[in-house]
Amino acid sequence: MTQEIITEIIGKYEPDQSSLIAVLQDVQEHFGYLPKDALTDVSKELDVPLSRVLSLATFYSAFSLQPKGKHPVHVCMGTACHVRGAQPVLEAFERELGIKDGETSEDLEFSLDTVRCVGCCGLAPVVMVGEDVHGKISQSKVSRVTKKYKK
Ligand code: FES
């Protein structure tokens, strides 16, 4: 199944290493992350060593080798958010979700990542859950925000 999807993705591009980033972007968009099998297939089909594929996949922070949660939580750690208390907010999410920055919950419901400025500094500190922007977040609001997305 994975192989068929990879073949289809690669079919849209030149079948060589110049297409590697574009192919990885499409693979990530399709699966929500870069599954190991998919990287092996990309390596074979584009005739690029797996070590090169892996080093690109780990170099760019937009790529993830871990599955992301159904509700990706992004805590902004840009300057405006940082000075208005983003760090304690991040720690509150870590406690509330039981995962650390960069991790995904076992039930695949939530993942937690930090980002640099999401462009709403006036609402700092800001947290995004999927496409939803939550501004002026404080530690005490974290539980209310996560409750909205829990099953
Ligand atoms: S620094 Fe957080 S939105 Fe700009």
Distance 96 CA to ligand 1 centre (A): 22
Range of the domain at 101: 71-149
- What confidence tens digit (pLDDT) does each residue in 55-98 have? 999 998 889 998 889 999 999 999 999 999 999 999 999 999 99
User: What φ, ψ does residue 129 adopt, rounded to 5°?
Assistant: -120, 110
For residue 55, being part of any structural domain is answered with yes
Q: Is 9 exposed, middle or buried (0-12, 13-18, 19+ CB in 10 A)?
A: buried
Q: Is the pLDDT of residue 151 over 80?
A: no
Same domain, 85 and 124: yes
Same domain, 46 and 87: no
Residue where a domain terminates, one of 35, 59, 83: 59
Same domain, 51 and 75: no
- Number of domains, the chain: 2
- What confidence tens digit (pLDDT) does each residue in 85-139 have? 999 999 999 999 999 999 999 999 999 999 999 999 999 999 999 999 999 999 9
Same domain, 80 and 145: yes
The residue whose CB lies within 8 Å of the most ligand 1 atoms, and thus the one to mutate among 121, 128, 134, 137, is 121
Distance 122 CA to ligand 1 centre (A): 8
pTM: 0.76
Torsion of CA 104, 110, 113, 114, to 10 degrees: -150
Q: Is the minimum distance from the CB of 79 to ligand 1 under 6 angstroms?
A: yes
